[in-house]
């Protein structure tokens, strides 16, 4: 697939390299494709390319949104919703405020009966938004190894075909996909970021992942 990674931070760089590793084509989108972090990433990552948010969005058949939660709307405007029309978009963002965590607990811009992914889906109704990759650190996103088994990646979205594409990516990246239903389930998935980060801020533990156990 041709994959657009909207975002040049840790998540954008990691998922971009992950898609390339698994044989996809990748263009990273950023406000400034000439900034040193992006130029270095392209140089060090065989096959990688970079462009503006709009160039990447136009290139991608599959879109990954990995930007600061507070600027999602701005980035969608820069990418141009027309470039996203009819496409699947993996939303890996979290609606974190710029306040520091309190005893390890992050603050969100959203309340319990709303989610950033629902707001995003309403903003781009002709794009199939699938929430995924938001509840684990970038360091564990691509084919992580855990002695206890394959970790669980929760995902949700309204379009079944789009979810199948994302479920296949999740498996390719070494995770067990766990379908949580329609996009409203992002109200449950996004706060998992708060839980995941808690041992990080409190005990500097950043390598765990969630796993659902059943019998
Ligand atoms: N870090 C993790 O381990 C992790 C794990 C799971 C989910 N997440 C979520 O994934 C998202 C990305 O996280 P990250 O740590 O990779 O990077 P980040 O620092 O949260 O975001 C970097 C991206 O945001 C863009 N950005 C920042 N300010 C902007 C503005 N005013 N206008 C337009 N774009 C702006 C940057 O654009 P430029 O490229 O132009 O600089 C860059 O592409 C976040 O929502 C985060 O909560 C992070």
The low-confidence residues of the chain, meaning pLDDT below 70, are none
For residue 1 and ligand 1, the question of a CB distance below 6 A is answered with no
CA of 69 to the centre of ligand 1 (A): 7
How high is the pLDDT of residue 54? 98
Q: What is the pLDDT of residue 180?
A: 98
Identify the residue whose tokens are 């995924």. 132
Cβ–ligand 1 contact at 29 (below 6 Å) = no
Per-residue pLDDT tens over the stretch 9-55? 999 999 999 999 999 999 999 999 999 999 999 999 999 999 999 99
Distance (Å) from CA 66 to ligand 1 centroid: 6
Quick one: pLDDT at residue 212?
A: 98
Please give the number of the atom of ligand 1 that sits closest to the Cα of 135: 6
Ligand 1, atom 20, lies closest to the CA of: 68
Q: From the CB of 75, is ligand 1 less than 6 Å away?
A: yes
Cβ of residue 31 lying under 6 Å from some atom of ligand 1 = yes
Pairing of strands 152-157, 62-65: unpaired
Pocket-testing residue among 5, 9, 63, 153, ligand 1, by greatest number of atoms within 8 A of Cβ: 9
pTM: 0.98
166 close to ligand 1 (CB < 6 Angstrom)? no
pLDDT of residue 23: 98
Nearest atom in ligand 1 to the alpha carbon of residue 32 is: 40
Q: Which domains does the chain have, with CATH numbers?
A: 2-203 (3.40.50.720)
């Amino acid at each position: 697939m041709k994959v657009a990674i909207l975002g040049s931070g840790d998540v954008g760089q990691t998922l971009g390299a992950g898609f390339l590793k698994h044989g996809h084509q990748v263009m990273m989108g950023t406000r400034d494709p000439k900034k040193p972090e992006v130029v270095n990433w392209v140089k060090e990552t065989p096959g990688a390319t970079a462009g503006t948010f709009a160039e990447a969005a136009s290139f991608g058949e599959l879109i990954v949104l990995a930007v600061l939660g507070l600027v999602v709307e701005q980035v969608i405007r820069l990418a141009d919703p027309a470039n996203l029309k009819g496409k699947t978009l993996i939303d890996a963002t979290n609606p974190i405020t710029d306040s520091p965590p309190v005893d390890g607990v992050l603050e969100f811009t959203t309340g319990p009966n709303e989610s950033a992914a629902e707001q995003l889906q309403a903003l781009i109704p002709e794009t199939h938004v699938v929430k995924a990759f938001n509840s684990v650190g970038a360091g564990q996103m691509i084919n992580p190894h855990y002695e206890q088994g394959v970790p669980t990646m929760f995902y949700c979205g309204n379009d079944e075909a789009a979810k199948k594409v994302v479920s296949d990516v999740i498996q390719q990246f070494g995770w067990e996909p766990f379908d949580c239903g329609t996009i409203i389930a992002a109200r449950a998935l996004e706060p998992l970021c708060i839980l995941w980060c808690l041992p990080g801020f409190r005990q500097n533990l950043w390598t765990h992942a969630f796993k659902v156990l059943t019998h």
